[in-house]
Chain A
Amino acid sequence: MLIPIERLIDGCVQTLREEVLPEVASRAVRGRVWAVLDVLNNLRDRVEEKVAAATTEADSARAALARLAAALRANADTNGAAAIESALACAPDEPPSARAASLRAALADAIAARPQGLAETEREALRAHLAGQVLRDVMLLKPSLLSEISKG
């Protein structure tokens, strides 16, 4: 997630206070909206992102980077392999979200550092992680309300 949970809750609070409440005429419904605001205000500083997803991503990315380093060494790219091994060594252990972000950046850097494109063995080293991570991320999502959001 690119938006911190606190910022998401702040956005919900601001929307309800400034955009929804002024349009609500019913006193009973306004009371419910204020109750939601009260819950959100008190939730804000007591929640954090679940660690399981970040841990899974970090473990998968670490394995993919190790495979990529091996593939690069097999292709005589020792500097590239060393850069990845250094990134693996530098990735923070905690929190899992920081570890996942660090390894995600290392993967992106390794790809971007090869403007000629990845060799097939290098691509295969990353495939299981990139494909798996995309599917894991999609599986977490709830059905989109985009149609309702657009139509109002």
Chain B
Amino acid sequence: MPRRAVYTAHGMTPQELEANLASFLTQRLGAPVRVRGLERNTEGFSQETFSFDAELGAETRRYVAKREPVAGLLEPYDLEPEFRVLHGLAGADVLSPPTPWFTDDPRVLERPFYVMERLPGDVPLPTPGADGGGPFTPGERESLAPQIADALARLHAVDWRKRGFDFLGVPGAGRDAAARELARWEARIASAGFAPPPLLADALVWLRRNLPDAPEITLVHGDFRLGNWLVKQRGDSATLLGVLDWEMVHLGDPLEDLAWCSCELWRGGTPFAGAMIAPEAFAAAYASASGRSVDPIRMEFYRVLAVVKMITIMLTGIRAFNEGRTSDLRMAIFDHQLPFLFALLALARGWLSGG
């Protein structure tokens, strides 16, 4: 039986993928390239991620290729806007991976993909550790939290007009940023084809009635959170080395990122924002780093929207699995992750409290 299913879903073997990548890189770099050690990474549930080494003579460069999946969590897929942002962020002080190449030529890897440099560090996951705690030691938490807050502030300070990111769609003044985001996720709920359950229907009514004004429009990563940070952990301290997974990047309210990063989804079994520090302390660190005030009304809106977004992502994956467009069983596990999400939604909307 050919060794291919995890790698390609269709025709190409890993050897063919390596050869095609080598040919692609040879053209881009203008020198013969050999590709070694192609490996499908396990962390990403959305796009397909491959790491590999490219040998140019005696030099070895480390790259990652991100490819559109056949089906998945954030349909419909379009890798090009994410590439354009990552490519356009070259030289910006935001810890994004240098991302030199993109192609939608299906002859190379069957589907559109881009290549980025592989940054050092590991990706701590937002899941409880064996001891029930999060992925960081107290010393790592203390040293990492201000770095994360600072990185988010720097990301929001990017001059998106100057870098030509208007193509992402510029929200109008007032409530438009919130309205556009809510509309984006409501459309995805409709596409998933499941009637919203009662708690989701309730959250959508509340979100529509409570759209907050955005006093400014910034670049918004969209998925800035534990699980998308490259970190060097040393036990007594930790260093943030990279910010990954920009596929939900857009222009909007910067507090959307802060609320997403702080919310219960990414606490790794701890009570802490990003498994680092108390959410209020993290908000204060971001406020200090960015010079922005953290409006609790906007934060509450984006906190509820965060859970709605995650439910929607899971519904989209379940639909793809139900329809047989993917055999990836990781989509199926969302069917029994959803109750946790609905519990969070019930908490956020006050259904589990006395009033």
A: residues with CB less than 8 A from B are 1-4, 7-8, 11-12, 14-15, 17-19, 21-23, 104-105, 107-109, 111-112, 114-118, 126-127, 130-131, 134-135, 137-138, 140-142, 144, 146-147, 149-152
Contacts and interface: CB of A to CB of B under 8 A. Distances in A.
9 contacts: A1-B335, A22-B2, A108-B197, A111-B201, A115-B205, A115-B209, A127-B351, A130-B202, A141-B339
Contact of B206 (A117, A134, A151): A117
B158 interface: no
B5 interface: yes
Contact of A3 (B3, B199, B335): B335
**Which of A2, A8, A19, A135 is packed against the most chain B CB atoms within 10 Å?**
A2
Interface in B304-324: 315, 318, 321-322, 324
Given A15-B327, A147-B125, A150-B127, A134 B205 contact: no
Interface stretch (B93-101, B174-182, B291-299, B340-348): B340-348
Given A3-B322, A7-B322, A130-B346, A112 B204 contact: yes
Chain B contact-residue range equals 35 or more
A148 to B, nearest CB: 9
A152 B123 CA distance: 13
A151 B41 CA distance: 9
Nearest to A126: B198
A105 B199 CA distance: 11
Nearest to A114: B205
Contacts of A127: 351
Given A3-B322, A130-B346, A138-B339, A112 B332 contact: no
A114 B205 CA distance: 8
Interface of B: 1-6, 42-43, 45, 125, 127-129, 194-202, 204-206, 208-209, 315, 318, 321-322, 324, 327, 329-330, 332-333, 335-340, 342-343, 346, 351-352
B127 A112 contact: no
B127 A144 contact: yes
B333 A149 contact: yes
A23 B6 CA distance: 10
Nearest to A19: B5
B3 A23 contact: yes
A22 B3 contact: yes
B308 to A, nearest CB: 14
By Cβ-Cβ distance, the 8 closest A-B pairs, closest first, are A147-B127, A137-B339, A152-B42, A18-B5, A108-B201, A107-B198, A111-B201, A19-B5
A131 B333 contact: no
B323 to A, nearest CB: 9
A22 B197 contact: no
B332 A134 contact: no
Nearest to B3: A22
Contacts of A17: 1
A111 to B, nearest CB: 4
A29 to B, nearest CB: 15
Contacts of B198: 104, 107-108, 111, 126, 130
B230 to A, nearest CB: 15
A15 B206 contact: no
B327 A14 contact: yes
Contacts of B127: 144, 146-147, 150
B246 to A, nearest CB: 19
A117 B234 CA distance: 50
A129 to B, nearest CB: 8
B352 A131 contact: yes
A152 B330 CA distance: 12
Contacts of A19: 5-6, 327
Contacts of A14: 327
Contacts of A137: 339, 342-343
Given A115-B205, A137-B339, A108 B196 contact: yes
Contacts of B199: 130, 134
Nearest to A139: B339
B321 A116 contact: no
B129 to A, nearest CB: 8
B197 A104 contact: yes
A147 to B, nearest CB: 4
B196 A112 contact: yes
B334 to A, nearest CB: 9
A112 B201 contact: yes
A115 B209 CA distance: 8
A2 B201 contact: no
Contacts of A12: 329
A134 B339 contact: yes
A126 B340 CA distance: 19
B195 A134 contact: no
